[in-house]
Amino acid sequence: MLKALLLENLHPDAARLLASRGIEVVTRTGALDEDELIEALAGVHIIGIRSKTQLTERVISSASSLAVIGAFCIGTNQIDLQAAANRGIAVFNAPFSNTRSVVEIAISNMISLVRRQPTFDKDMHAGIWNKSAIGAHEVRGKTLGIVGYGNIGTQLSVLAENLGMSVVFYDIAEKLALGNARKAESLDDLLKQADVVTLHVDGRKSNRGIFGEEHFAAMKPGAVFMNLSRGFVVDVDALASALQTGHLSGAAVDVFPTEPKRKGDPFTSPLQGLPNVILSPHTAGSTEEAQEAIGQFVSHKILDYLSTGSTTLSVNLPNLALEQSTGAARIAYLHRNTPGVLARVNNILAEHGENIEGQLLATRGDLGYVVTDIGSSIEPETVAALEAIEQTVRLRVLKGTTR
């Protein structure tokens, strides 16, 4: 029986879907540290995590039974993807399932900050009636600067235009502008124009510390700043300073360089207590609708991989879209991508009298993935011969591949 370990309060649908396929499911709240993970992963074939759990090379190399990792979130920078690929462990994430949730909170935070709602709210709770229009503005007619024009940035761009805003964006990759959005020539160009600057970049290592003191200084006086992407991309001390001096009029931050691992753990930040600042505990994508969609999407990807060998949307293995087997057995063979491997695989199958009914091959960097359907049950001697190929990373024999 396959065993799954699900951490960090994943949506119940994840456990339900995996259990419906006969998989033993163990759920635990919160994240685990390296030593805890190594112990917990003994005999585990599937692990489901969110952003807090760090699957390092040490953890992955110690998990001898692990076959697939499900990141029930957008980012995968908490996983050593190369270490997983080297051991033939597929990684799947949910790149689109909570896009709308992040966009909605970005819109909400932006309007709240421009209208100074956090300040008014704090005053009212303190018993202070401060009815004043000073410093409160409409977003209509303002310019939104989006840094990172991917799935979230583009959808935010469209909705912001519907609010009457002008949109300018900056991305290191060439991106097609939607609606009337304009591409900035540089990040500095964007900062000079934008009344609101919002970050929606990914978790690649090169994005670490990309927004610091010089960038806040380049923003328009009285502008608003938002970071709903990754905590390590922003110098929060520099942000706090820009808010304290009044250069920026407000900020919304959902992600932080260091975040507690478990619900209820203490949290500290230099941004605490500052006026017109919205702080949230990495919940921009955490709506019930988004978590349900993520739980279902990633679980189905895991189940498809285990039953059919399909690696569609895997972030670290060659991608093959597969359905039910056309033969009696299916061989999913991950290998080092060197010349002649496919010929060796087929020669071994021929030598052992196995008839190939269908075959697909994909490569990704130094890895190759060939999936072969054969017309009869595969013999142990054939499996042993395939595993003996020096380029072998992982071989799985799939039978009864019903979705």
Catalytic positions are 230, 259, 282
Please give, one letter per residue, the 3-state secondary structure of the chain: CCEEEECCCCCHHHHHHHHHCCCEEEECCCCCCHHHHHHHCCCCCEEEECCCCCECHHHHHHCCCCCEEEECCCCCCCECHHHHHHCCCEEECCCCCCHHHHHHHHHHHHHHHHCCHHHHHHHHHCCCCCCCCCCCCCCCCCEEEEECCCHHHHHHHHHHHHCCCEEEEECCCCCCCCCCCEECCCHHHHHHHCCEEEECCCCCHHHCCCECHHHHHHCCCCEEEEECCCHHHECHHHHHHHHHCCCEEEEEECCCCCCCCCCCCCCCCCCCCCCCEEECCCCCCCCHHHHHHHHHHHHHHHHHHHHHCCCCCCCCCCCCCCCCCCCCEEEEEEEECCCCHHHHHHHHHHHCCCCEEEEEEEEECCEEEEEEEECCCCCHHHHHHHHCCCCEEEEEEECCCCC
